[in-house]
A and B are shown apart, each in its own frame.
Chain A
Amino acid sequence: MRELGYAAILVALVMAIAGAVIAIVGTRQTGRPSPLARSITYTVAGLLSVSTLAMIVALVTNDFSVSYVAMVGSRATPLGIKIISLWSALEGSILFWGWVLAVYAAAVVYTQRDRDDAAVGYATATLLGVLVFFLVLLAHPANPFAPVNPVPQDGPGPNPLLQNHWLMAVHPPLLYLGYVGMTVPFAFAIGALAAGKLDHQWSRSTRRWTVAAWTFLSAAIVAGMWWSYEVLGWGGYWAWDPVENASFMPWLTATAFIHSTMVEERRGMLKAWNVSLVVATFLLTLLGTFLTRSGVISSVHAFADGPIGMYFLVFIAITLVFSLALLAGRIDALKTEAKIDALASRETAFLFNNLLLTVFTFTVLLGTLFPLVAEAVRGVKVSVGAPFFNRMTVPIIVALIFLMGVGPALPWRKAAPGELKRKLLVPTGAMLLAAIATLVFTRQPYVVLGYAFVAFALASNLQEFAFGARARMRSLGENVVAALGRLMLANPRRYGGYVAHVGVFAMAFGIIGSSAYLTEREWTLRRDQPVEIGDYTLRFAEAWGRQEPHRFVVASDIVVSRAGVTVDTLRPRMNFYNTQQQPIPTPGVRSTLREDLYLTLMAFENDGSTVTVKAIIEPTVAWIWIGGLLVMIGGFFGLLAPTRRPPRPPAPVRGAAVAAPASYLDTVAAREQEEAMR
């Protein structure tokens, strides 16, 4: 397996270099993408699949002659965890990264195979170029297939944090799909810049890929929050940890792009800005990987200092200089075709949305890098904690939520005063009601504003569904369900977007409640001695231990009752892994839509006579996960948009929909024209 896996990497490296050169030369000579480069892309994807599969086989069969298996494998590890050990340390995660990227590249080349403009050729070259970088890492500094001598009998097993929850099988792959997926829009941007074709074409191809990657990244971030909540035992889900920030920054810029690209689509504005956002998103994914994989920052995610930091810095520098040079060279082609007509227009809303998201990204970047810069420049060790981030970002988030309510109510170009009044009436009412209801409980300005704006924006977004469905019901005589369903299917991108918005509001609702109204208590409990928190009564019934193949578990049974009725027995645990001194907690959580009761086992007597337990009541925290699910559903629903103008008069052929997103805009434009003519 070792030889096979490594040989596949080396052959893939040589082929990717050759393919990138062929793609550039071929495109320059003929002005169209090179078919040979396309075949090479498929082959590289195949070779990396072989290599990844070889690693999985080695992990499953305990082949400790492979260095990576010797590092993260162990005979006692259950089968499922052996497989996901693929991403539990540096080398394996780079292999997984390379594989995902190669599969993306193959998918891009496949879906664009019918397009014959030079931009696709250069985009292929860019994808292969990025692949070369990761293959170089795999070939030398992060080689997962290095020989081990002597071959050990057993290994330590993967990081216990990875073994403790099923979400660890979900969060990393989603994150890679999102992170690596951002390479595709970057490749399209570079392709378009290199070909000098900066018409709508590039953003058409880019939009769909960006939304797909963005959806995966959103899901990954929420899954990571949930994992943190379910595993780390501190009752929180976001700590502004450098690595959380690393995943969040590209998400912010990608979100900005998804919105501003609509302005380019409709009005031909913001071209240079959109290209910059795509490039920035890609650079931020590289920076994030550098932060997490180079050991400059220590956190839950950081794998001990690896040798690859310098490689990443050099690659980031090359990408930055190269992209800026291309951008500067094409600045004439990026001229705006129109200007803003009125302040009350959707363009303006998107403009401010982008401004806020950019400021947001900058804040997070500043807070994340400040400790590094301070240490390098002034030689002091500092940390920038949650208070800084909260102070800086909460106003931005509140303003963004407000804009999310204003945006859908505003038409393109210029709003007629009557229309605006009609559309903002209900949302404003909802906002006032929420503000008054909140003021009964609290005077904290951000809490009041937060709830009020969530109500405002939620009403404004839901109203779009209501107005659209009502129009269909009146003019076409459809019933509510049919009208709503067909409305959404007629414009998946728009309504998918609103669904994602609603998901964000649910998350905001959950975050406000769980951070502003959290109750926390800690006690040392003796058996059958009840304690109270909120309207719950907790009684410690028993402490017990159990030996499992790869760990030893200590747990306490806590009987939860409410108004004298037993409602649940929670079992907060500590898991002792042989390879780590610090036990990994598993909190006991009773989750309802109203609030979560969250118990963590903090300490215990070895004879089981007492346990120390921390209890947290976190209102509305479940809404965060529900909101995350809605964001994901909305994102994927948006991808249902037709990719091609349906051939008329014959009905659209099934299966044709997978092909190039090229003429998607045309369908939108056609619909627009129809609207305008009406």
Chain B
Amino acid sequence: MNRTRIAVVGGIAVVVGVFAWLLWGGIDSNIVYFLTPSELMAKGTGGYDAPVRIGGMVQDGSVQWDKDRLELRFNVTDGQTVIPVFSKGAPPQMFQAGIGVVLEGKYQRSGVFHSNTLMVKHSNEYKPPADGEMPAEMYKALTRGSQS
């Protein structure tokens, strides 16, 4: 083993070592578990303040949207457990009571889930729109043909 070789092998060892160290700390704290509201509740105090994804339905009649303060409050449920959710910013256009959502965020000790990402579950499959659901009908008031 000459000195060059030792240096090269040492360099490789350093790179791999740093990588392993980053990985050790990285993987566990950066994995986000996907839970149902009931599973999140079942974790008890262990469920607080850790980033998780939860999936469920938006409970009927629970949606409160303050469009000036951009604050959205609603309840998400899997049929058994209901969790109040707070989210900042306008939700996707399709968001409404009864629709499936996936939320990423943290469950706060106050008992409210603070969501920082709100995704609406929708299927890409073709579904003919129901009567009155055609966008053209819904937004006819806005139509202005001449604009380019």
Contact = CB atoms under 8 A, between A and B. Distances in A.
A380 B32 contact: no
Contacts of B122: 580-582
Given A578-B129, A606-B139, A384 B31 contact: yes
B27 A304 contact: no
A346 interface: no
A603 B67 contact: yes
Given A343-B7, A382-B31, A384-B30, A545 B90 contact: no
A603 B95 CA distance: 11
Contacts of B31: 370, 374, 382-384, 388
Interface in A372-418: 374, 380-385, 387-388, 391-392, 395-396, 399
Given A159-B124, A388-B30, A581-B127, A610 B94 contact: no
A304 to B, nearest CB: 7
Interface stretch (A52-60, A78-86, A349-357, A663-671): A349-357
Nearest to A383: B32
Interface in A314-363: 339-343, 348, 351-352, 355-356, 359, 363
Interface stretch (B18-26, B40-48, B75-83, B105-113): B18-26
A574 interface: yes
A321 B16 CA distance: 27
Contacts of A524: 67-68, 70, 90
A383 B33 CA distance: 6
B134 interface: yes
Contacts of B8: 340, 343, 348, 351
Contacts of A177: none
The size bracket of the interface on B is 35 or more
Given A356-B15, A392-B26, A341 B4 contact: yes
B34 A610 contact: no
A167 interface: no
B70 A545 contact: no
Contacts of B68: 524
A172 interface: no
A547 interface: yes
A396 B16 CA distance: 11
Given A340-B8, A355-B12, A395-B18, A552 B34 contact: no
A352 to B, nearest CB: 6
A522 B89 contact: yes
B131 interface: no
Nearest to A155: B126
Interface string A591-618: 0000000000011101110101010000
A614 B139 contact: no
Nearest to A348: B8
Contacts of A522: 70, 89-90
Given A579-B126, A582-B93, A388 B27 contact: yes
A383 B53 contact: yes
19 contacts: A304-B124, A341-B4, A352-B12, A356-B15, A382-B34, A383-B31, A385-B32, A388-B26, A392-B23, A524-B70, A543-B142, A545-B144, A552-B135, A552-B139, A579-B126, A606-B138, A606-B142, A614-B89, A614-B90
Given A581-B122, A582-B94, A614-B90, 15 more contacts: A352-B11, A366-B27, A382-B31, A383-B53, A388-B26, A399-B15, A544-B147, A545-B143, A546-B144, A546-B145, A547-B143, A552-B134, A576-B139, A607-B142, A612-B67
Interface of B: 3-5, 7-8, 11-12, 15-16, 18-19, 22-23, 26-27, 30-35, 53, 67-68, 70, 89-94, 104, 120, 122, 124-129, 134-136, 138-145, 147
Task: List 7 A-B pairs, minimum CB-CB distance, nearest first.
Answer: A545-B142, A388-B30, A576-B135, A381-B34, A602-B90, A156-B126, A552-B135
